[in-house]
Amino acid sequence: MMMDTGRTLGSDDFTIDFDSYIKLAADDVSKLRFCDVDRVMEQAVNDEELIELSQYLLTVRPDFDVAEVCEIEHEIGKEKGWRK
């Protein structure tokens, strides 16, 4: 879930470099197609990283639908046993 901190996040605000995940589906995040978001998000190694990856994608790609990214995040979390 995204937290409202009263400030805008930028790509430098994330502790993990997600480029290697994104490169599985696109040359860079600007070329990532929405249909490949699930492939990228499935690379997360735990729920915290999955959440941060979702936030990152929504920050750098504001054209992606928030509800759809959150739904993908939730489904992957359930599939991996991190959520009920």
Sign of the C-alpha dihedral computed for residues 18, 23, 26 and 31 taken in this order: positive
The strand ranges marked E within 7-81 are none
**pLDDT for the residue numbered 13:** 62
Average pLDDT, the chain: 88
- Distance, CA of 35 to CA of 15 (rounded, Å): 25
Closest CA to 58 of 5, 20, 1, 6: 1
Structure confidence by residue, pLDDT tens digits, 30-65: 999 999 999 999 999 999 999 999 999 999 999 999
3-state helix, strand, coil in the chain (%, to 5): 55, 0, 45
- Distance, CA of 72 to CA of 61 (rounded, Å): 15
